[in-house]
A and B are shown apart, each in its own frame.
Chain A
């Protein structure tokens, strides 16, 4: 139940990966037949991504991870507009990869409300300020699930003449993307592709300069060999996932509704986080008062449930999630549940039946 981190490999991805390992091992720049086959596979992969995302082939580049694609979007987008300005406007709930890229230069942060929704008035003011080179908005928070008003935010960016980068890692393959953005990135292992494939789209007419040294071929993307078999598998699984996305969104969204409703009803002193309606179909977060998040994570793991947490005790930084802080919601005792195509209603019901007892046990140990 941690699809927001990584989803088990989709069967179509596994099949494509095996086939591409046999057929796509060669260097696509070489002129012998195995090289040409690899080149054809690479071109077909770019075309498949372009079709799945509804963009032009030459707008797509592939990166070694979603994180690398996100950082390339921010740094390359800023570099491309260096003559117009040096400031990045971003929401307070961007992925940490974006925040770290933002920390390299000038940045203006725009807050969110208690439900994790972008403050659009502050956003409008921030992007209209002089010296803004780029704006960055996550399509939907991977920690709270709240879907952001991308179309409205893009409208304000267009008025100000500022390109908008959308980190769509949680949305691609699950929900349609609104138009109006200039750059977009996604990550294959969030939709059932293999890990280690990131996608970056830079729309035609948007100035983007690679933040990395280039190679002789001046291809967009990180110089060096692409993991072609993984990219082939990522494209094949994205196509498969999009075919079932609508039905899956309905199924998973009703499971999330059940979790939101049952956790609130059966666990005392709990805060269900994020917008109950304008949210991702597959993700829900809640925080339990007086509970050590790490203890709850391990207790759930012993019951066979893999979940994530934004509590400080579970973070490598030992700080609470910046998303939960920006929303001002309880950060300890935090659990994020995110579902995928392999998650069944029976598993969700078993989770809901064991959770209240585990929470009560941890509270009793703490004397509460």
Chain B
């Protein structure tokens, strides 16, 4: 279909496109990820009509929230031209540390949450400083951090997680505002998703910092020459990514409970989501809403494959094929322009 469009293109003058092609070019103007997401949601709704009920759809959003927040955080790093592989093991470390430190005592919940955010900021600034000040590629820096956090979390617990998460910690990932008109329960997760999403959009697309980040990722030398402190904005991006992992970890801890594989593979899913949303891994390009839509797309894909009754292993294979196809399609589109 796409090759046919490209082969007929030269036959038509640039000034007068036939209506069909005009419609096609309007569709091409929008980020394709939203169309993919829409198609998947429609497919889910056809397969499972309940899906259109607010409570079922909100439950889907609740499930997708940790990945969407993680993708929004990862996007800052990717836009800056770097990569953060440590977020998955940071999530695990957050869940394990929360359980160990709170140990079922509700009075400790808030101090520990503050501590987790502080720890996340420290992890992010270490990632950022080593990458920008010592010049270690972020792939290696955050791979090292992955090993340190994973080993550290297991070391502290002796291999099997200890302690427990009290209800007032788990409430963020599990419960919501009750008795909301028309929808019943509004999960806290979804509110947090909207708030974090709005903050991330504002920070990346509406502030000087965001513009500097795009500049640093697109052309670091030009950015430096125009007065951007590239190491500083990049370090800040790593801190935002780590903090997004802390938020995701708190939500996952609430939603799924204490597990030593809480964050397994989350880094690759977040990076896939960001790239599905049209960001370039070489930096300088990407959008927050599209990245979060990429995360919802992945989650919708899992849901659909589940509904279709595919065994878990084949879901991996389909996911892999779809990620490659989506990125190949994006690369094809960018060549056409």
Q: A and B, one complex?
A: no
Name A's B-contacting residues (CB within 8 A). none
